[in-house]
Amino acid sequence: MNTFLTDKNRAVRRAVRAFCEREIAPIAKQIDQEASFPWEVADKMGRLGYFGIQAPKTLGGAELDTVSYVLIIEEISRASGGLGLCVTVHNSVAVAPLLAFGTEAQKQRWIPPLARGEKIGAFCLTEPNAGSDASGIEATALRDGDHYCVNAGKVLVTNGGIADLCLIFARTDPKAGRRGISVIVAERGTPGFSVGDLEDLCGMRANPVSSIRLADCLIPVENRLGREGMGLAIGLAALDTGRIGIAAQAVGIAQAALEESVRYAKERRQFGVPIARHQSIQQMIADMATDLDAARLMVLRAAVRRDRGDPFSQASAMAKLHASEAAMRITDQAVQIHGGYGYSKAYPVERYWRDARVTRIYEGTSEIHRMVIARGVLGD
């Protein structure tokens, strides 16, 4: 992989890995079991620029390239999938759309505190009746003078329990179908804005996923992102970048599972020798390493295409599909290598398996990505 990285990329990876091994890895098991968000660690990440990875330095960000972004997400996720999820969603589908579609005034107002980690962002698209079919959203934002009256019930919101600033997808013109959806930026503390109970999730338990409700919430028109009717275009553009981040997250989880499997296989002895000497274990490790390497290369390809300004939607979808499926295979094999211990919370591989499972679902299910990829190949 080093062939594809600049000296700066490698330095970023070394620094992030050192931070994660010092600050995150020691508490990863605890924050998973307690389903708690480590604010002290998050504050340190904010000071290091992890919440504004690609934001301009003039707005308080680190102004790094996409390759550095995926390396950071991979390393954080290698230590904790839940924290990796927080950082990638904040950067890719909260900060990035504001940078791409926001006015100068909006950027000056919102980006600096987001980039420093003083505020956390969330992407509020999913509803009880709108998941893969984003055009089915029922939330409304109806014009009332200089404000929108927003009514929305968003569910399964990543970072929802801690979000200060939410990108709300709502219908500003209920009669216009897909063209009637817009993005309204809602801030915690606005009258009518409320956060639901945290979800009791199988994996990614360190991330405070919740519902977000807006009831007759009056939000200034100046909080609209882009023009009216641009909602789905903004959402799809954000998800193209977001999928690269989720793919990098899956790679980080899979990397942790492979490392733990190699360590265990060298230590665990059966039939008088370490199980790493047995051909069946070697075959599993070979498959895991190959699957992981392919996933990482696909992530880097998508990142490089984005950095070059080349179209990257197809590469992003392919990377997300393959990396998430590979992470599921790799973590499953990790549990198998550990045998009965792999099913015990005394070992971390069961956490890796739980965390990997959802990467096949959020920011586009594997089935949706196969449809997207097929359409691109077929020219539809």
**CATH code of the domain covering residue 343:** 1.20.140.10
Q: Give CA 30 to chain center in angstroms.
A: 21
Report pLDDT digits (tens) over 183-216: 999 999 999 999 999 999 999 999 999 999 999 9
Report pLDDT digits (tens) over 343-358: 999 999 999 999 999 9
**C-alpha radius of gyration, the chain, whole number:** 21
Residues 190 and 106 in one domain: no
Residues 249 and 204 in one domain: no
Residues 293 and 328 in one domain: yes
pLDDT computed for residue 134 by the predictor: 81
**Active-site annotation holder among 75, 199, 260, 363:** 363
Residues 267 and 146 in one domain: no
Of 229, 249, 284, the residue at which a domain comes to its end is 229
Any catalytic annotation for residue 222?
A: no
**CATH code of the domain covering residue 105:** 1.10.540.10
Residues 79 and 199 in one domain: no
Whether 2 has a pLDDT exceeding 70, the answer reads no
Residues 157 and 105 in one domain: no
Report pLDDT digits (tens) over 299-326: 999 999 999 999 999 999 999 999 999 9
- Which region, left, alpha or beta, applies to residue 309 given φ > 0 means left and ψ of -120 to 50 means alpha? left
DSSP conformation letters of 347-369: STHHHHHHHHHGGGTTTS-HHHH
Of 205, 229, 253, the residue at which a domain comes to its end is 229
In the structure encoding, which two tokens stand for residue 168, read together? 């709300």
Averaged pLDDT for residues 50-76:
97
**Number of folded domains that form the chain:** 3
**CATH code of the domain covering residue 159:** 2.40.110.10
Sorting pLDDT into bands at 50, 70 and 90, what band is 4? confident
156 φ, ψ (degrees, to nearest 5) = 50, 50
Report pLDDT digits (tens) over 127-149: 999 888 888 899 999 999 999 99
Distances (CA, A) of 281 to 164, 220, 354, 356: 47, 60, 22, 21
Residues 44 and 171 in one domain: no
Residues 127 and 218 in one domain: yes
Whether 1 has a pLDDT exceeding 90, the answer reads no
Residues 224 and 237 in one domain: no
Residues 203 and 76 in one domain: no
Strands, E assignment, the chain: 121-124, 140-144, 147-157, 165-171, 181-187, 193-198, 210-220, 224-225, 269-270, 273-274
Of 173, 203, 229, the residue at which a domain comes to its end is 229
Residues 282 and 152 in one domain: no
Residue range(s) defining the domain that contains residue 60? 2-120
Averaged pLDDT for residues 145-164:
97
Residues 251 and 187 in one domain: no
